[in-house]
Amino acid sequence: EVQLVESGGGSVQPGGSLRLSCAASGFNFDDYAIGWFRQAPGKEREGISCLSHKDGNRYYAASVEGRFTISSDDAKNTIYLHMDSLKPEDTAVYYCHATAIIGGICPSLQYRFELRGQGTLVTVSE
């Protein structure tokens, strides 16, 4: 069974940090690009970061670049999103998705990745 299971969400004050994890199973992890997306209340889902297993490149949306870092532990089939300098506007449900549409290379962050996790909630407030 294909699974992407996110964890690590929670409540944090502005300026704080969190690390999200995404555990993948049921597919060949190395053949996929893995992305992090988020959806805030009343807004559309936004692609914020992607890691290409094919070439190791990492991509970030402008809204998170310089504050968020995506990384991978291939031995554990796990992707991480380390989030620093969190802002109230970062409050959202965060999702881990995977795609092999370009053989392990990240497509546009606007692309609808075909494998999708269930999400973990991040709340940034005083």
Tens of pLDDT, residue by residue over 35-44, are: 999 999 999 9
Strand stretches in 1-126, DSSP E: 3-7, 10-12, 18-25, 33-39, 46-51, 58-60, 68-73, 78-83, 92-99, 115-116, 120-124
Distance linking the first and last C-alpha atoms of the chain: 40
Q: Is the pLDDT of residue 96 over 90?
A: yes
Question: How many residues make up the chain in this entry?
Answer: 126
Percent with pLDDT over 70 in the chain: 100
What mean pLDDT comes out for the span 112-122? Answer: 95
